[in-house]
Amino acid sequence: MQTQISRRHLLRSAMAGGAAVGLSPWMNHAWANPKITQLGNAPTLSGTEFDLIVDETPVNITGKDRVAVTINGSLPAPTLRWREGDTVKIRVTNRLKQDTSIHWHGIILPFNMDGVPGVSFPGIRPGETFTYEFTLEQAGTYWYHSHSGMQEQQGMYGAIIVEPAIPEPIQYDREHVIMLSDWTDENPHRIIEKLKIKGHYYNRNEPTVFDFFRDVKQLGFGGAMQKRDMWNQMRMSPTDLADISGYTYEFLTNGTPQNANWTGLFKAGETVRLRYINAGAASIFDVRIPGLKMTVVQADGQNVQPVEVDEFRFGPGETYDVLVTPQHQAYTLFAQSIDRSGFARGTLATQMGMQAEVPEMDPVQWLEMQDMMGAMDHSAHGDHAGHDMAGDSMDHSGHNMAGATDSQADHSAHGGHDAHAGHNMTENPLAKPSQQVRHSKHEYGASVDMRVDTPRNNLDDPGIGLRNNGRRVLTYADLRTLGGPLDPRQPEREIELHLTGNMHRYIWSIDGVEYGKSEPIPFQFGERIRVIMHNDTMMTHPMHLHGMWSELESPDGEFLVRKHTISVQPAQRVSFLVTADALGRWVWHCHIMYHMDTGMFREVVVS
């Protein structure tokens, strides 16, 4: 399919700020006036001292005039290019009418520089300037964004590139930052209000009569009716893959909509490094470049053993660096949302104005049994006993725990069950992660609408919509961080955290407790901890721990990959090791902004 771009749309996109490389004279003019939002290619700022100004600036992305929250008048914000080992000083001035902040996502730094209002610092009040200062202990691709209100959704995010102090093993001829995000003309606070009234308000892929007749052909009339009855009894939607869809979202590549066709240049035969960053407030993207293989060389800023793929999925907060070697004149950078309600699009080309065929989006797929009930036959964790669909694989009863008090809480109050329960008494009971499910008492309250008792822990599943699609899709099982774990020690203890929620009430939580009702999770300075995250919901949650690395392991306890954000699939149970080497107050939350703001958020105290 050849995308048709109207002259009017191109003119509007160009006047908004320039959608592609090559409009630098106009960009320089726009940069001189901070009240004009620059779209398309963020300016790059290098060095060790920076001045960033947070303000509201006018923007027109969809054809309607709106106001964005920007840094230095740019959407995305300026790309900051730093060098490993340097100490950087960033002065952030707030010209908004409300408080603001900047969090340096994935950067290891002192807790009082982390930028989370109410936890690590008070926030930056209107008219004030706050100076961040820290020394860079790492290299790679990272990003930064507001941690105040809904400013991240309104455009306040930018890329960080930290150049290594010593040559890295990645060889390439040129590079481009590819920052994917989602924009809405709606007030994001109003979006939450709508979701509170109807959790699937933005889902326009609900089952139809045509889906029913398709099921009749495949399953017979009785099977199709049974399938509908199952979903009706659970009061859930089989297509509820994303809270917010293309119904209100415009999906952006480097701040530009698909018809603006952001373009990155190359010469045929060059190796090009693409630094992919998911800066979406709520969108999980499936990324591919039709006609080009991608070699993944970094995950969350950390070098990995190269792995060649056709496609990868990543959630908000995650980054992947890939190498490509384009030979032809133009290729489409294609990133479709997990619910197939829309896509972001750009182009790699040998000259401006070129474009390649834009593929059709993949069909919407329903959630499968493994996304609802986990490993019903226990095959994902070595137990083949089997369970009936109506058995104990998933509990939807949502028993009312009225009368339960904080003193009756178990691990929900202090961050998980302790280590040894559920392990065989081998020489080292913590050599492998526990497979015994330990639900919190609070998971039986009104704020939890489902629990998974037989989770799956397979890391080689690309996820709903990507299974058996004929393409080589990256999974966590493919990733191996070069150099191995930072800390060779075995864990001293194990905690278990359950990702929980009630989609009808639009409440999200950890262990059935929303942030405002929770207690901090205590870490002892220097200890090595295994964390088990168990997803009791039918949605993927990209979980981000501030200040410390999360070292993902296999179900057998083998180190795989070092990350700062780990996406936990529906009905999945994953484990990773954390070394509590950073004193202070940190946070741990789902990076889907609306999940975080409605309760899937915890404070972590290292002392």
Pairing of strands 174-184, 129-135: unpaired
CA atoms lying within 13 Å on the CB side of residue 195? 24
The β-bridge partners of 246 are: none
Cis amide linkage into residue 76, ω under 30° from 0 = yes
Phi, psi torsion values for 320, nearest 5 degrees: -135, 135
**Non-local CB neighbours of 379 within 8 Å, separated by 6+ positions:** none
The β-bridge partners of 576 are: 531, 552
In the predicted structure, residue 5 carries a pLDDT above the cut 50: no
185 and 58 Cβ atoms separated by less than 8 Å: no
In the predicted structure, residue 251 carries a pLDDT above the cut 80: yes
Per-residue pLDDT of 49-62, as tens digits, reads 999 999 999 999 99
Lookup: tokens for 24? 């630098």
Predicted confidence at residue 406, as pLDDT, reads: 33
In the predicted structure, residue 581 carries a pLDDT above the cut 50: yes
DSSP-derived secondary structure for 31-56: HH-TTS-EESSPPEEESSEEEEEEEE
SS3 572: strand
Per-residue pLDDT of 111-145, as tens digits, reads 999 999 999 999 999 999 999 999 999 999 999 99
Least confident of 22-31, 119-128, 266-275, 475-484: 22-31
Least confident of 291-295, 403-407, 511-515: 403-407
143 and 167 Cβ atoms separated by less than 8 Å: no
Per-residue pLDDT of 337-359, as tens digits, reads 999 999 999 999 999 999 999 99
Break the chain down into helix, strand, coil percent, rounded to 5: 15, 35, 50
Measured CA distances, 344 to 12, 284, 335 (Å): 18, 11, 5
Could you say which DSSP state residue 185 is in? S
Cα–Cα distance for residue pair 161/544, rounded to 1 Å: 19
The distance in angstroms from the start CA to the end CA of the chain is: 58
In the predicted structure, residue 310 carries a pLDDT above the cut 60: yes
Phi, psi torsion values for 196, nearest 5 degrees: -65, -35
Predicted confidence at residue 494, as pLDDT, reads: 97
Cα–Cα distance for residue pair 39/260, rounded to 1 Å: 10
Cα–Cα distance for residue pair 474/516, rounded to 1 Å: 36
Range 404-413 average pLDDT: 35
**Non-local CB neighbours of 34 within 8 Å, separated by 6+ positions:** 53, 55, 57, 72, 73
Give the mean pLDDT of the chain: 84
Per-residue pLDDT of 501-536, as tens digits, reads 998 889 999 999 999 999 999 999 999 999 999 999
Burial 145-171 (b: 16+ CB within 10 A, else e): bbbbbbbbbbbbbbbbbbeeeeeeebe
Predicted confidence at residue 198, as pLDDT, reads: 76
In the predicted structure, residue 24 carries a pLDDT above the cut 50: no
Predicted confidence at residue 248, as pLDDT, reads: 93
pTM: 0.85
Q: Quick count: other Cβ atoms within 10 Å of Cβ 541? A: 28
